[in-house]
Chains A and B, each alone.
Chain A
Amino acid sequence: MNHKESGKETRKDGTDHLIVDRRQFLKLGGGIIILFSCGGLEAQQGQQALPTDFNAFLRIGEDGRVTCFTGKIEMGQGIVTSLAQMLAEELDVPLRSVEMIMGDTDLCPWDAGTFGSRSTRFFGAPMREAAAEAKAVLIQLAAEHLGVKQEDLKIVDGVISDKNNDRNRVTYGQLAKGKRIERSLGKKAMLKPASTFSISGRPTERTDGVSKVTGKAQYAGDVRLPEMLYGRVLREPVHGAKLKSVDTSAAEKMESMKVIRDGDLIAVLHSSPDGAESGLARIKAQYDLPEAGLDEKTIFAHLLKVAPAGEVLTQGGDLKEGEGQASQVFEETYLQQYVAHATIETHTAIARVEGDRVTVWVSTQGPFRAKEEVAGTLGIPPENVRVITPFVGAGFGGKNMNRQAVEAARLAKLSGKPVQVGWSRKEEFFYDAFMPAAVVKIRSGATGAGKIVFWSYDTHFAGPRGVEQIYDIPHHREASHGHYTGIPGAHPFSTGAWRAPGINTNVFARESHINIMAGKLETDPLEFRLKNLADQRLIKVLRAAAERFGWAPSRSPSGQGFGLACAVDVGARVATMAEVEVDQKTGKVRVKRITCALDIGQIINPEGALMQMDGSLMMGLGYALTEQVRFKGGEILDTNFDTYEIPHFSWLPKIDSVLVPNPDVPPLGCGEPPIVCTGGAIANAIFDATGARLFEMPMTSERVKTAMALLRK
């Protein structure tokens, strides 16, 4: 194949076909290479004029090993295993002979990043097709090699043999040897039907298991380079503060301490992280502080004031007409406080500058974004930047931006030495792009027979996800005002994507509201939902959850402490039920058990899917009950886990995760949908236990206590 250095070639059909640098292909060596892309690549690229009509490839090497190169990254969601399973399945090779090369921008083609439960949903199918294409090439080669018709061949564990003469056989490795075959995925390849799967769909131990239990798994902070230094950067105490004066003389006098001042960047470098920390402590800085502004109480009125006009996402019928049919009208406002990502690994990067080239190892969900950020800051062409993504110590949307990589790269360039920047916990809280504070307003009505007839929904700054109507309501309108990333002047600090962005807040509001309606209409909340739903998949998961949970129909508050919520998220159907116990004196909520039923279509690794569900339910307890970033204007008052409380072992409820199989639907993502109902289910369970309705998340002891006190008045 004849491609130019620029990575551009002209296909036989005359269309331009951009490919990654030739350099990458040279590195790959021989073998059979299939290029493929996942759906919506152009949409993902947006304005970026980046190459390629494919964004991943797989290779059958001369050793028979299968390697998949993708810009996706592994941060605990388990795709390093489930994607390999899908490949092994389609290619008929053992799982152990598949290797995933992930998030290395020099080896892997461009990818938008790992977020939104997209990897399995959008990436899985084309990857399987690429594998099927590779298999077709191998079968063709084998037929020639063995002198046997294609239809008389069989494949077992990467060995192709004559059905009628098992000794007439050849391995994938032998077929790939000395060859250099490249194919782009064109027509749809024939995929194996799910009924014949022997690897996909079976519980599988994770391929990253041994390295993670022996301490060998490498994260960005574990990379060691000769002569490397550790950098600590001077931070403003409050967002919006302006540096007035700084005195670095004391730090400069310290042994082996290097002080760097470059415009806005003031940092110390030392051969140990603790050394750098002690240097930073000696820097004296004075700031002009902005006026203390918003707080946890005033933020909501402010958000409503600055919110842009809503974008109507779904609508139908006529609200006025619907209201005319309603026998009761319900109008409520729901609030959401800021929530941190609080991954145990803080943002970390290490950069090495060699001539005009930079290599950065980054804890990131978006290696290609990191590459652009670093190139942009250093003013060098992106192709001179290589980002390598080791294992990531969780992301949940918090590692999409890569400030730490830019800092490491700048410091490496300024000092001429490799520099690691690993944020302290305080820095991690300070620069986190939180789940935004948000306000949801709902006005709805139902007939005396319990049919919802109108629904008017306005969410402010939570984001559009989960706003669309899932109930069967004749007259409705759902609008989203302002994205979760905010607009200038909305939030005193950054906000962004937090595991299933927006929908946790939106489901809390909607499902609380549904329960309020059911309660006033004297109906069991499950029955009320079933009566107003038409989505058969959702009805099925609700029934599955109810059966496993042992839902006992009753009017809430029943005193049982049972609550439920349901949702549609990124194509998945999810229903969660919780049982809580509320301390009447303190307002402290204990979730005793939680059941979640989930339909994510075809299931690739059931064990992996259950892990995501269990984890989501446990993590969800935090945003539901305690997690709230305390702030005063641009000052972040939480600096560590002592005041910012994430779920602990002592909280552990009985967790029951139920997969509702649905082989007719292609595989959907699993990292987010199981978390989205936790807040709503718990809110409804608190009401069922106490009769107190919570309109604000998190539902802290204090808020529950206040809500219960209101009842007694």
Chain B
Amino acid sequence: MIETIEFKLNRKPTRLSVDGERKLLWVLRTDLGLTGAKYGCGEGICGACTVILNEKAVRSCQIPVKELQGKELLTIEGLAKEGTLHPLQKAFIKHGAFQCGFCTSGMILNAYGLLVEKPQPAEGEILQGMNDNLCRCGTHNRIVRAIQDAAREMRGPR
């Protein structure tokens, strides 16, 4: 059924006329032209499609687009503000926390969701919180370091 869905996409009010049952991942990648969220498994197992919905990390391949109604959606394309990279993005570059880069959008956004929930995560909490995001290149140790670094920067010197 075609529905009109109003939501905020990367801080901008957005309206979509779309079959509300379609999965968010495909609407993002085709209708909205935002290809940062990737298809990796289609069953919510790998996390390559992770986006932030109302400050929580969700799997866009599992979410019907109608669930966006009235909510705020953040994708990797909206994470940097006015050309300034988010601390997580900077830390991922600094620590070389990616190789092929295909899982990276999902990794960064899942980490974003983790830091919203736990601004000072212990290493064990990072491992647990990131456990369902898969990376085949084996950059895990560097992703952990990047998240720790970003968490420190986000808390600030105060």
Q: Is the interface of B mostly helix, strand, loop or mixed?
A: loop
Which chain B residues (1-53) contact chain A, with CB distance < 8 Å?
A: 22-23, 26, 29-31, 33-43, 45-46, 48
Q: How many residues of A contact B (CB 8 A)?
A: 62
Q: A632-670 toward B: CB 8 Å interface, digit per residue (1/0)?
A: 000000001110001111111001000000000000000
**Are B131 and A221 closer than 8 Å at their CB atoms?**
no
B96-A647 in contact (CB<8A): no
Q: Is A528 an interface residue (CB 8 A)?
A: no
Please measure, in the bound complex, the distance between the C-alpha atom of A216 and the C-alpha atom of B31, giving whole angstroms. Answer: 17
Knowing A394-B136, A640-B43, A652-B144, the reply to whether A217 touches B101 (Cβ < 8 A) is: yes
- Binary interface profile of A, 266-299, with partner B (CB < 8 Å = 1, else 0)? 0000011110000000000000000000000000
A130 sits at the interface (CB 8 A): no
User: Which of A30-38, A202-210, A302-310 is the interface stretch?
Assistant: A202-210
The answer to whether B93 touches A213 (Cβ under 8 A) is yes
Judging by beta carbons under 8 Å apart, are A619 and B39 in contact? no
Q: Choose one: A274, A344, A642; the contact of B40 (CB below 8 Å).
A: A344
Query: In the complex the two chains form, what is the Cα distance from A342 to B137 in whole Å?
Result: 10
A224 interface residue, CB < 8 Å from B? yes
Number of A-B contacts (CB under 8 A): 173
Instruction: Report A232 CB to chain B, min CB distance, Å.
Output: 12
A391 touches B26 (CB 8 A): no
Known A394-B136, A655-B141; contact A344-B38, beta-carbon cutoff 8 A: yes
A224-B33 contact, Cβ under 8 Å, with A76-B137, A615-B138: yes
Assess the B99–A394 pair: CB atoms within 8 A: yes
When the two chains form their complex, are residues B39 and A221 in contact, meaning their CB atoms are under 8 A apart?
Answer: yes
Interface assignment of B68: CB less than 8 Å from any CB of chain A: no
From A213, A273, A640, A641, give the contact of B104 (CB < 8 A): A213
- Contact status B140-A652, CB under 8 Å: yes
A273 to B23, CA, bound (A): 11
Residue A164 is within 8 A (CB to CB) of chain B in the complex: no
B108 within 8 A of A: yes
Minimal beta-carbon separation of A660 from chain B (angstroms) = 20
Residue of A nearest to B102 (CB): A393
* A619-B76 contact given A213-B92, A344-B40, A650-B131, CB 8 Å threshold: no
Expressed in whole angstroms, the Cα–Cα distance for A655 and B48 within the complex equals 24
Q: Is the CB of B100 within 8 A of A343?
A: yes
Do A222 and B42 touch (CB < 8 A)? no
With known contacts A344-B135, A425-B41, A213–B99 Cβ distance under 8 A: no
> Is the CB–CB distance between B101 and A393 below 8 Å?
yes
Query: Is A219 part of the binding interface, using a Cβ–Cβ cutoff of 8 Å?
Result: yes
How far apart are the CA atoms of A206 and B79 in the complex, in Å?
20
Residues in B with CB closer than 8 Å to A212 are 98, 101, 104
Interface centre among B40, B79, B89, B137 (most CB of A within 10 A): B137
**Residue in A208, A218, A422, A619 whose CB lies within 8 Å of B138:** A619
Mask: chain B, 61-84; 1 = CB below 8 Å from A; 0 = not:
000000000000001110110000
Q: A272-B26, A394-B102, A641-B46 are in contact. Are A214 and B76 (CB under 8 A)?
A: yes
> Which B residue sits closest to A219, measured CB to CB?
B102
Q: How far is the CA of A77 from the CA of B96 in the complex (A)?
A: 12
Query: With A209-B93, A343-B136 in contact, is A641–B41 under 8 Å at CB?
Result: yes
A425 touches B138 (CB 8 A): no
CA distance A205 to B92 in the complex (A): 10
Residues of A within 8 A of B154 (CB): none
In the assembled complex, the Cα of A392 lies from the Cα of B133 at a distance in Å of: 19
- Please name the residue on chain B nearest to A205 by beta carbon: B93
Closest approach, in angstroms, between the C-beta of B63 and any C-beta of chain A? 13
Contact of A208 among B80, B101, B127, B134 (CB under 8 A): B101
List B residues at the A interface (Cβ < 8 Å).
22-23, 26, 29-31, 33-43, 45-46, 48, 75-77, 79-80, 85, 88-89, 92-94, 96, 98-105, 108, 126-128, 130-144
Which 8 residue pairs are nearest across A and B when measured between Cβ atoms?
Answer: A215-B36, A76-B100, A618-B138, A393-B102, A76-B99, A212-B101, A215-B76, A615-B138
Name 10 interchain pairs, CB-CB below 8 A, sorted by A: A212-B98, A215-B75, A224-B35, A273-B30, A391-B101, A394-B99, A611-B96, A614-B141, A618-B140, A641-B41
Q: A77-B99, A213-B88 are in contact. List 20 more A-B contacts (CB 8 A).
A: A205-B93, A208-B101, A209-B92, A214-B36, A215-B77, A273-B30, A343-B136, A344-B40, A344-B100, A345-B40, A394-B99, A610-B96, A611-B99, A614-B138, A615-B137, A616-B138, A619-B137, A649-B143, A650-B128, A652-B127
